[in-house]
Amino acid sequence: MVDWVMHSRGEVSWITFPGTEASGLTLAFTTRKGGASRGRYAGLNLSPKDGTASARRQNMASVADALKLPAAPLFPVQKHTADLSVVGFLPRRRPVADGLLTNVPGLPLGVVVADCAPVVLWNPTARAVAVLHCGWRGVVAGIIEAAAVEMARRFGAGPLHAYVGPAIGMCCYVVGLDVAEAVAGSGDNPLLGSHFASDSQGLLRFDLAGHVRDRLALVGVPPDNIEVVELCTSCESELFYSYRRDGVTGRCAAIAMIR
């Protein structure tokens, strides 16, 4: 396990893992610090649809500048599915998908989140990357399994590295029995149902990041290659947007680009 680090350039701050840049991947889990958005979206809101257009443009330009990207990242239209889109160039229309894959250098891809787990898969041998939006619905739909299969099929074999960004923690993520049943029933492995616990008040809590980590291991990502940013988006209000905490709010992003 490698500890994550916080980097800043200008007003923009993001989390990354040491060594990713040297391996040829720019990887960033953005925070809400800095940014031009105001009100409920205050900070570096990277939602492609919420807040004012001028703030969105400014925030996107700040991120591209801070991360030294040649263009603003491509964000898909997310629907909590397992749908993936393989991207070879910046399209005119945003793909409808919850994961984007590429092996093209210089093409910045991202997903936006406010409590869901952002996941980046990196195959340094094949030089291919995937960026995934993993809430419980997408996980149940099989987005992690689909992405691992598609990475190998499209871009070739080689051990994957997985980076799981900040998500809502068990401390703050109370779910219904329907979620536990859907998650536990979404595969044969009893491990899949093991990320729930009842607290002293009888409330059911879900460890989404822990679940994602175990699913990544089950699809063959070597456990030593799985890194998790163990920060709770709901607890860390200075750093992250949280849908569960605030309802109407902005979005942070996971961004990846092959160098």
Quick one: 168 or 221, whose CB is closer to Zn ion?
A: 168
Interface with Zn ion includes 172 (CB under 5 A)?
Answer: yes
Minimum Å distance from CB 239 to Zn ion? 12
Among 103, 234, 242, 249, binds Zn ion (CB under 5 A): 234
Please identify, using beta-carbon distances, which residue of 169 and 250 lies nearer to Zn ion.
Answer: 169
Q: How far is the CB of 194 from Zn ion (least distance, A)?
A: 20
Burial 161-170 (b: 16+ CB within 10 A, else e): bbbbbbbbbb
DSSP per-residue string spanning 118-131: EEEEEETTTTEEEE
Quick check: 232 binds Zn ion (CB under 5 A)? yes
Tell me how far apart the alpha carbons of residues 191 and 104 are, in angstroms, rounded to a whole number: 35
CA–CA dist 130, 177 (Å, integer):
31
- In this complex, which beta carbon is closest to Zn ion, that of residue 169 or of residue 210? 169
104 binds Zn ion (CB under 5 A): no
Which is nearest to 67 in space by CA: 127, 3, 7?
7
3-state SS assignment for residue 156: coil
Per CB under 5 A, which region of 8-16, 113-121, 143-151, 163-171 contacts Zn ion? Answer: 163-171
DSSP state of 6: E
Q: In whole angstroms, how close is the CB of 242 to Zn ion at the nearest point?
A: 9
Number of residues near Zn ion (by CB under 5 A)? 6
Q: Contact between 203 and Zn ion (CB under 5 A)?
A: no
The residue (of 145 and 207) whose beta carbon lies closer to Zn ion is 207
Distance CA 68, CA 50 (A): 24
- Strands of 252-258's sheet in order across: 5-9, 12-16, 25-30, 252-258, 109-113
Give least dist CB 63 to Zn ion, A: 25
The answer to whether residue 175 forms part of the interface with Zn ion (CB under 5 A) is no
**Interaction of residue 169 with Zn ion, rule CB under 5 A:** yes
> What is the binding site for Zn ion (CB under 5 A)?
169, 171-172, 232, 234-235
